[in-house]
Amino acid sequence: MDITSDIHSQHISRQFNHELEELKTHLMAMGGLVEKQVQDAVSALLEGDSSLAERVVDNDRAVNDMQIKIDDECTRVLARRQPAASDLRLVLAVIRAASDLERIGDEASKIARNAIELIDNNVGGRGFVEVRIISEHVRRMMRDALTSFARFDTELALQVVQEDEQVDNEYQTAMRSLMTFMMEDARSISPVLGIMWILRALERVGDHANNLAEYVVYLVKGLDIRHTDPDDLDQELGES
Amino acid sequence: MDITSDIHSQHISRQFNHELEELKTHLMAMGGLVEKQVQDAVSALLEGDSSLAERVVDNDRAVNDMQIKIDDECTRVLARRQPAASDLRLVLAVIRAASDLERIGDEASKIARNAIELIDNNVGGRGFVEVRIISEHVRRMMRDALTSFARFDTELALQVVQEDEQVDNEYQTAMRSLMTFMMEDARSISPVLGIMWILRALERVGDHANNLAEYVVYLVKGLDIRHTDPDDLDQELGES
């Protein structure tokens, strides 16, 4: 390879790496927005702030737009760069992760809509403690999942996967105690159901954070393949 | 281009088309299995058949395996064929569709688990009519969404999108009437909640069918680009 084409290919490769970094940066920005949406939706409920809840519902459009933008970028990178091996896995993982973040955004929006109804009906604080505890838990999971994605940190990712089980347990316990409330006081049925939908939405946020963490493991498994025998690598990627 | 290389490139292109057809075939097979899972889960509830419900829970592993297989195939096609334009869109749409089908499988599994609990507690038929009606509706949506995918039929796809709103209305009506039951009879709270979770799962099946239909529109939009000016096409795909 002559020097000119070597410099040229280094340039291409630097540009490509830059594009991949950009994908990750945009995914992290989307993650930040979505995390704020979950936080605002829960704060709106706990503080009885309807207008905050309405802003969350409105902002869902911005979340959706970010997913479309990231999807377009990924499609462009696939078409233009035709990445292989771990780069391909990264792009596919970003597409999947953006889809989970978009769904977390939907859950935030559902929480906000339920919050608006509960606030309108001037509902007391039954179940609020559970909502706060579980929301803090799943938001931490989201943050850790995104951090593990940014750093390709499988250890942190596996921790998120383990935490998802704890959240499921907390959720089940909260649901049982809320059902008991309902049985004791028929007037509480409607508001307590509203809280149940919110808890269920939070539990799903945990599921999506769990998915994000699983993509990191998938990604890093791909990276590990780089260190294996090239023959096995071909077989693994089916590039025979 | 000489004749030999022309024949060679025709061969490659035929092989590639065959691979894309295979992807669609496997997606349809997965769709068929998932549809059966939803049907069996609902039948298990309506007919009080616990062992059928347990088979649905067990079969969820087969659904997950199919998704992994389809994902692997798509990744291989992307790495090996480096498709562009509408072929790339097709592969990405298959990845997304398989993810929605996997989630429908999860919902079927949730329905089955709730059914087992309801059957164990020897629960009567409250809410069964609603479950039957909504399940028939969302199963038809699933079938139509898959058919529209197989045929690139946007008209049918748009019909599915419209039906999703009807399902949402049916779901809301059913939930309100079940809440009334709960308020009238505290002993019905626990079983009626079980039915509510099942209805919610079915409503989500409708949402996923709606997503499938949306991918068809995205796909065909991609196909339309083929008929536009090549300059605009380059711009559209960012292959500048």
DSSP state letters, B56-73? HHHHHHHHHHHHHHHHHH
Residues B30-60 as b or e (16 or more Cβ within 10 Å = b)? bbebbbebbbbbbbbbeeebbebbeebbebb
Residue B28 lies in a domain: yes
Contacts of B99 in chain A (CB under 8 A): 96, 99
Can you say how many angstroms the Cα of residue B17 is from the centroid of all Cα atoms in its chain?
24
- Choose the closest CB to A79 out of B88, B186, B190: B88
User: C-alpha distances in angstroms, B169 versus B58, B78, B103, B163, B195?
Assistant: 32, 40, 22, 10, 17
Would the CB atoms of B82 and A82 count as touching at under 8 Å?
A: yes
- At residue A116 the predicted structure's pLDDT band, cuts being 50, 70 and 90, is very high
Q: What is the pLDDT of residue B3?
A: 64
Dihedral of alpha carbons B135, B138, B142, B148, sign: positive
Name the minimum distance, in Å, from the CA of B147 to any CA of chain A. Answer: 24
Question: Residues of B with CB below 8 A from A194's CB?
Answer: none
Q: pLDDT tens-digit profile of A12-63?
A: 788 888 999 999 999 999 999 999 999 999 999 999 999 999 999 999 999 9
Position A4 confidence tier, pLDDT thresholds 50, 70, 90: low
Of A97-111, A190-204, B118-132, least confident by mean pLDDT is B118-132
Percent of chain B with pLDDT over 70: 90
Mean pLDDT score of chain B, rounded to an integer?
A: 88
Specify the pLDDT at position A82. Answer: 85
Contact B238 A186 (CB under 8 A): no
Residue A69 φ/ψ, nearest 5 degrees: -65, -45
Cβ within 8 Å, pair A75-B88? yes
Provide the CATH number for the domain around residue B129. 1.20.58.220
Give the nearest partner residue to B237 out of A79, A92, A239, using CB atoms.
A79
**Structural domain containing residue B118:** 15-224
Of the pLDDT bands very low, low, confident and very high (cuts 50, 70, 90), residue A70 is very high
CB within 8 Å: A179 and B189: yes
- Report the pLDDT averaged over residues B78-102: 91
Report the domain count for chain A: 1
Interface contact A80-B183, CB threshold 8 A: no
Give, rounded to a whole angstrom, the gap between the first and last alpha carbons of chain B: 25
pLDDT value at residue B236: 42
Extended strands (E) in A7-99: none
Domain annotation covers residue B125: yes
Q: Give the pLDDT confidence score for residue A225 in this predicted structure.
A: 30
Residue B237 has pLDDT above 70, yes or no: no
Q: How far is A110 from chain B (nearest CA, A)?
A: 13
Question: Which residues of chain B have a CB within 8 Å of the CB of A97?
Answer: none
CA distance B183 to B180: 5
Token readout for A133 is 């505890």
Distance from CA of B237 to the nearest CA of A (A): 6
**CB-based contacts of B57: which residues, under 8 Å, 6+ apart?**
B109, B112, B113, B116
Task: Kindly state the helix (H) or strand (E) to which residue B229 belongs, with its residue range.
Answer: none
How far is it, in rounded angstroms, from Cα A139 to Cα A152?
19
pLDDT value at A102 more than 80 = yes
Confidence of residue A237 (pLDDT cuts 50, 70, 90): very low
Does residue B84 sit within a domain?
A: yes
State how far the Cα of B167 lies from the Cα of B203, in Å rounded to an integer.
Answer: 7
Contact B44/B114 with Cβ under 8 angstroms?
A: no
> A88: which chain B residues are within 8 Å (Cβ-Cβ)?
75, 78-79
Of A5-14, B153-162, B208-217, the least confident: A5-14
pLDDT value, residue B4? 65
Residue B52 lies in a domain: yes
pLDDT digits (tens, 9 = 90+) for A147-160: 999 999 999 999 99
Residue type, B111: I
Q: Is B231 inside a domain boundary?
A: no
Q: How far apart are CA A216 and CA A221, in angstroms?
A: 8
Let me know if residue A236 belongs to a domain: no
The mean pLDDT of B80-94, rounded to a whole number, is 89
Inter-chain residue contact B186 with A182, CB threshold 8 Å: yes
Number of H helices, E strands in chain B: 7, 0
For residue B231, the model assigns a pLDDT of: 43
Q: Which residues in chain B have their CB less than 8 angstroms from residue A82's CB?
A: 82
Q: What is the average per-residue pLDDT within A221-237? A: 42
Q: Percent helix, strand and coil across chain B, each rounded to 5?
A: 90, 0, 10
- Residue B239 to residue A182, Cβ atoms within 8 A: no
- What pLDDT shows up at residue B62? 96
Between A168 and B85, whose confidence is greater? Answer: A168
Residues of chain A contacting B190 with CB distance shorter than 8 Å: 179, 183
Closest-CA distance of chain B to residue A189, Å = 7
Among A103-112, B127-136, B142-151, B230-239, the minimum mean pLDDT is found in: B230-239
Lowest mean pLDDT: which of A55-59, A184-188, A211-215? A184-188
pLDDT for the residue numbered A183:
87
Instruction: Using the predicted structure, report yes or no on whether residue B240 has a pLDDT greater than 70.
Output: no
| Whether the predicted pLDDT of B61 surpasses 60 | yes
Residue A239 lies in a domain: no
In a domain, A235, yes or no: no
What is the arithmetic mean of pLDDT over A234-238?
Answer: 40
Least confident of A82-86, B1-5, B85-89, B209-213: B1-5
Interface test with B, best of A71, A82, A218, A240 (most B CBs within 10 A): A82
What is the predicted pLDDT for the residue at A2?
Answer: 58
Helix H or strand E segment including B123 = none
Residue A206: predicted pLDDT? 96
Q: pLDDT value at position B208?
A: 95
* Interval A78-90 mean pLDDT: 87
Test the A interface: residue of B71, B72, B78 with most A CBs within 10 Å: B78
Element holding A125 (H helix, E strand)? none
Is the CB of B79 less than 8 angstroms away from the CB of A85? yes
A37 within 8 A of A63, measured Cβ to Cβ? yes
For B16-37, what is each residue's pLDDT tens digit? 889 999 999 999 999 999 999 9
Q: What is the phi/psi pair of residue B153, to 5°?
A: -100, 95
For the segment B191-206, the average pLDDT, to the nearest whole number, is 95
